[in-house]
């Protein structure tokens, strides 16, 4: 058997092994993600996975509704926000208040300036892991 053939067999075995271990329930895969922003006085969802909708609760405050609920509220999320101007005004994605909800059906996130005041952003990217 040639080296190329052996490598081909090895690649096939590795592929079958990985396929049996990494499936949709693997904890390293995102359970939900969304790219949205507040543009022209409305929330615009550009792309998403397992996100039914995004609601603006107030300036810089959003609720992301999951299409399929997560098993519980013990998930982690990470997000970033784009500046609303070209002058370098930074935006951060945060949860600030105990009133912000984190539930199997949705999560509340806030977009704030570095001065900790809520502010909208034309692009917010959120990823949820469980």
Rounded CA-CA distance 78/95 in Å is 11
pTM of full prediction above 0.85: no
Rounded CA-CA distance 90/54 in Å is 22
Domain segments of the chain as ranges:
27-129
Rounded CA-CA distance 2/120 in Å is 60
Give pLDDT tens digits along the chain (130 positions): 788 888 888 888 888 887 776 667 777 789 999 999 999 999 999 999 999 999 999 999 999 999 999 999 999 999 999 876 666 677 877 776 677 899 999 999 999 888 878 889 999 999 999 8
């Amino acid at each position: 058997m040639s080296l190329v053939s052996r490598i081909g067999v090895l690649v096939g075995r590795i592929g079958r092994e990985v396929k049996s271990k990494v499936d949709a329930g693997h904890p390293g895969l995102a359970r939900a993600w969304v790219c949205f922003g507040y543009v022209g006085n409305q929330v615009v969802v550009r792309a998403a996975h397992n996100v039914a909708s995004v609601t603006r609760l107030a300036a810089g405050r959003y609720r992301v509704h999951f299409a399929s609920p997560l098993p519980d509220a013990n998930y982690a999320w990470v997000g970033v926000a784009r500046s609303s101007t070209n002058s370098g005004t930074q935006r951060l994605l945060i949860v600030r208040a105990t009133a912000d909800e984190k539930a199997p059906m949705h999560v509340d996130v806030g977009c704030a300036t570095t001065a900790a005041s809520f502010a909208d952003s034309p692009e917010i990217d959120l990823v949820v892991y469980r």
